[in-house]
Amino acid sequence: MIVSSNISTISADWLKHSQRDLFSAIAKIRLTLEQKIALAKGEILEDSVTSNPQSPQFDSHLQRLCENFSLSEFERDVLLLCAGMEFDPNWGLLCGEVVNDSKQSYPTFSLAMSLLDHADWSALSPAANLRRWHLVEIGAGNALTSSPLRINERILHYLMGDQHLDERLLKLLEPVIANSVQIESHQQIMKQAIATWLKASEVDGAEILPVLQLCGEDVASKIAIATDVCLDLGLNLYKIPASLLPHDLSNLQLIAQLCDREYTLNDMALLLDCDRDEAPNQNQDMAIGYLIEILQCPMIISSQTRRRQHQRTIITFDVQSPSINEQQTLWEESLRDLDSDTKDSLNGYIHELVSYFNLSPTHIYNASLKAKSSHQLQSNHTFHQTLWNACRAQSRPRLDELAQSVETTATWEDLILPSKEKFVLRDIAAHVRQRLTVYEKWGFAGRSRRGLGISALFAGTSGTGKTMAAEVLGNELQLDVYRIDLSSVIDKYIGETEKNLKRIFDAAEGGGVILLFDEADALFGKRTEVKDSHDRHANVGVSYLLQRMEAYRGLAVLTTNLKNSLDQAFLRRLRFVIQFPFPDAEQRTEIWRRAFPEKTPTQDLDYLKLGKLSVAGGNIRNIALNSAFIAADHNEAVQMKHILQAAKIEYIKLEKPMMDAEIKGWV
């Protein structure tokens, strides 16, 4: 089996000769029709008409079609009989006149059997080439032999030299365009994959190639490898998401037949995209397996986990993300066209980029391209900042579908906490900044790859500053923060919680994102005694989350209102644990001083008295905001009376009684 059989450069002259060959062959069929009619009338055609059109003597689309689909002479002429209907407005009249029925003004198998030489009843079979490869289509009719025949539209366009997908495939497939493989380890995989297919194609009697399976989390690199493999072998790669596969076998078989036909017509290879299919159901999993078994065209699977088949050979390649050194090399290559001053200013900055961001070759290329184009338009930012922002943007599209983006405008001054808690937060920031230096340059990662993730637990009652602390870290480190409500991630179905968590971590892995998991109590309660599968399922979900946090290259933070409810064994696996205390009167006073923006008009506010209100910082911000609305509605500056009204509303929400001592002397 030869991997690619249709590779050639089609010139305008070749196409013109190919079309001439087609029309000459159709003219011979028309001549046969006219002779049949004349014979029935007892007439003899003039010599100028009866002279046979010249037989083709050169390569053409028609000849390729007949050769590649192994069409007999009769099958070829049936196809031409149908093609004539598309080019000759009088063709239907000729068909009707041959059978002496003006209503049957179209080709049929009955007409073909009576008209054409070498008639063969087996050509009518669904397993024969005309119907198996969907070269002709049978319309509605009372009998099979008298039903209308029509040439398939894709085949008609092919004969005319126009290459495009069958409309039934257009809804499912898309052409794959990707950057070339750029790192040595991926180039080696590409070369091995090419050698695998070439070796298999040389085996006598080999009808189909083994499936190539590319496994790993770096989706962009897998697509680049698949693209380069097919480009080298002259194959046109198309991608189909596994989620779009139909579950009924008849439609699935039709897709396989059309793909196999497209391989024969235009050297198509299929990339089955299972990367977006993290949670396939049983029917979908069966559809994937069935397609792998019946498809004959070259096939590549892109998946994060290995798939095994009972019959068809699958050759698996593990595609690893680029190493630190490979990422640095990619950055240097993608930025080599910068002017000398900008390039000099980046001295040492590439090291900082790879410390925070674990990007694929494609994402590095896209980030550098975006940074260079944006920098030309925005001179108010340094190139360092523009490049940094371009890196941050790489993970956002996937994460925006899975988590809530958190604004990171808060600063250390906005965070009112005791000094020891702030000290630990600053230490967390130092760990994130120096991760690459300590783990890679200083060799700590060489001792053990376990526990290299930076994880933290923020514990404290609602409103004590846990979310703001994450915002401050995001602002300090110039990283995106995404909030995930763990209670919404937990799924009652076994295994679904881990799949939900996997989607989140996989999406965040490259972008240096700070992941903030709220409501950890929902998952991290006291370890339950395993009495049934659901108890075991709950503990597995906890273990999986901790495992991913320990391996995550960014910062992962859990928040809880009830630290004492968490199992100590789980707490020991977290690197940092910070208890956010309820603010005392002095701290509440400081929070009140920062509660109103500079532009907000205020009048006679007594912050010491406001500090006596026994609520957390989050509640203080709610009261301040509500009081501003109340004052604005009365066209007044914010005063103590407005704050008092807002405070009463907040206390009602908290279902908490307001003590007279808290508001003594306010108004």
pLDDT in tens, 337-354: 888 888 888 888 898 898
Give the pLDDT band of residue 203 (cuts 50, 70, 90): confident
Q: Are residues 626 and 481 in the same domain?
A: no
Q: Could you tell me if residue 98 is inside a domain?
A: yes
CATH number of the domain that 278 lies in? Answer: 3.40.50.300
> What's residue 492's pLDDT?
61
Whether 49 maps to a domain, the answer reads yes
Tell me, yes or no, whether 77 and 195 share the same domain: no
Q: Residue 337: which domain range? A: 324-394
In a domain, 1, yes or no: no
Q: Which of 351, 367, 394 is the last residue of a domain?
A: 394
Q: Are strands 268-273 and 149-151 parallel, antiparallel or unpaired?
A: unpaired
Is residue 306's pLDDT more than 90? no
Shared domain for 389 and 411, answered yes or no, is no
pLDDT in tens, 619-653: 999 999 999 999 999 999 999 999 999 999 999 99
Q: Which of 318, 346, 367 is the last residue of a domain?
A: 318
Same domain? For 531 and 575 the reply is: yes
- Tell me whether residue 268 is in a domain: yes
Asked if the structure places residue 5 within a domain, the reply is: no
Residue 568's φ and ψ, nearest 5 degrees, are -60, -30
Same domain, 589 and 566: no
Residue 478: name the closest of 351, 385, 556 by CA: 385
443 and 522 together in one domain: yes
Distance between CA 217 and CA 625 in Å, rounded?
A: 44
CA proximity to 142, closest of 110, 173, 165, 190: 110
Residues in CB range of 116: below 8 A, 6 or more apart: 29, 32, 74, 77, 78, 81
Q: Please indicate, yes or no, if residue 449 is contained in any of the structural domains.
A: yes
Same domain, 135 and 210: no
Of residues 454 and 52, more confidence is placed in 454
Q: Which residue has the higher pLDDT, 239 or 393?
A: 239
CB atoms within 10 A of CB 493: 9
How many domains, the chain?
5
- Whether residues 478 and 357 share a domain: the answer is no
Q: How far apart are CA 437 and CA 352, in angstroms?
A: 10
- Residue range 46-54: mean pLDDT, rounded: 48
Boundary of a domain, candidates 318, 343, 358: 318
For residues 56 and 151, membership in a common domain is answered with yes
Mean pLDDT across the chain: 88
386 and 414, same structural domain? Answer: no
Residues 240 and 116 in one domain: no
What six digits make up the tokens of 502? 């996997």
Both 116 and 159 in a single domain?
yes
Mean pLDDT to the nearest integer, 353-377: 87
Where in 19-173 does DSSP place strands (E)? 136-138, 149-151
Residue 401 in any domain: the answer is no
- E strands within 596-638? none
Q: How far is CA 112 from CA 106, 123, 139, 280, 449, in A?
A: 11, 11, 15, 48, 72
Q: Is residue 418 part of a domain?
A: yes
